[in-house]
Structure 1
Amino acid sequence: MNSARSPRAVDVIHTLDDLRVDLARRHPATANTSLRVIDPAVVAADLAAVERDGYIIWENLLTAEECERLRVAIAPLLGRTGRNTFEGQRTRRAYNLLEKTRACDGVVEHPRVLALLDKLFLPNYLLSQLQAIEIHPGERAQMLHHDDGFYPLPRPRPPLSAATMWAIDPFTESNGGTVVLPGSHQWGSGRGPEEADTRLAVRMPAGSCAFYLGTLWHGGGANRSAGSRLGVTAQYCEPWLRPQEAYTLATSRETVRTVSEDIRRMLGYSIHPPFMGAVDGMHPKRLLDRAEPAAATAPRAVSPPQDGAAERPV
Structure 2
Amino acid sequence: MSALHRDGYLLMPDLLTPAARSHIRAELTPLLGPAGRDPYRSRHIRRLYGVLHNTRATDPLIDHPRVLALLDRLLLPNYLLSQLEVVEVAPGAPARPASYDDQRYPLARPRPALSIAALWALDPGTTVTVWPGSHRWASRHPATPGAPLAPPPGSCTLLLGTLWHGRPPQSAAPSLTVTAQYCEPWLRTREAFTLSPGRQVARQLSNRTRQMLGYSIHPPDTGLVDGIHPNRLFS
The verdict on a shared fold, with TM-score over 0.5 as the criterion, is yes
Residue of structure 2 equivalent to 1:179: 129
Rounded to whole Å, the distance in 1 between the matches of 2:71 and 2:183 is 9
Rounded to whole Å, the distance in 1 between the matches of 2:24 and 2:15 is 14
Q: In the alignment, residue 256 of structure 1 is paired with which amino acid? A: A
Residues 142-151 or 92-101, more deviating = 92-101
Inter-CA distance 271–87: structure 2 relative to 1 (3 Å threshold): farther
Alignment root-mean-square deviation, CA: 1.3
TM-aligned CA deviation for residue 83 of structure 1: 2.5
Pairing 1:252–2:198 present? yes
Specify which of 169, 177, 187 is matched with residue 241 of structure 1: 187
Residue of structure 1 equivalent to 2:141: 192
Identity fraction in percent: 51
TM-aligned CA deviation for residue 179 of structure 1: 1.1
Rounded to whole Å, the distance in 2 between the matches of 1:82 and 1:96 is 17
Structural mapping, 1:1-314, within 5 Å: 47-84=1-38, 86=40, 88-171=42-125, 177-189=127-139, 191-193=140-142, 195-196=143-144, 199-225=146-172, 227-289=173-235
Q: In the alignment, residue 63 of structure 1 is paired with which amino acid? A: T
Larger Cα Rg: Structure 1 or Structure 2? 1
Rounded to whole Å, the distance in 1 between the matches of 2:99 and 2:40 is 10
- 1:164-184 alpha-carbon deviations (Å, 9 max, x no partner): 111100235xxxx11111111
Q: In the alignment, residue 242 of structure 1 is paired with which amino acid? A: R
Rounded to whole Å, the distance in 2 between the matches of 1:229 and 1:57 is 17
**More strand by proportion, 1 or 2?**
2
Rounded to whole Å, the distance in 2 between the matches of 1:213 and 1:261 is 25
Note the residue ranges of structure 2 that are not aligned, 5 or more in a row.
Answer: none
Contact 1:88/1:142 (CA < 8 Å) preserved in 2? no
Rounded to whole Å, the distance in 2 between the matches of 1:76 and 1:233 is 18
Rounded to whole Å, the distance in 1 between the matches of 2:3 and 2:99 is 21
Note the residue ranges of structure 1 that are not aligned, 5 or more in a row.
Answer: 1-46, 290-314
4+ residue runs over 4 A deviation: none
Contact 1:85/1:142 (CA < 8 Å) preserved in 2? no
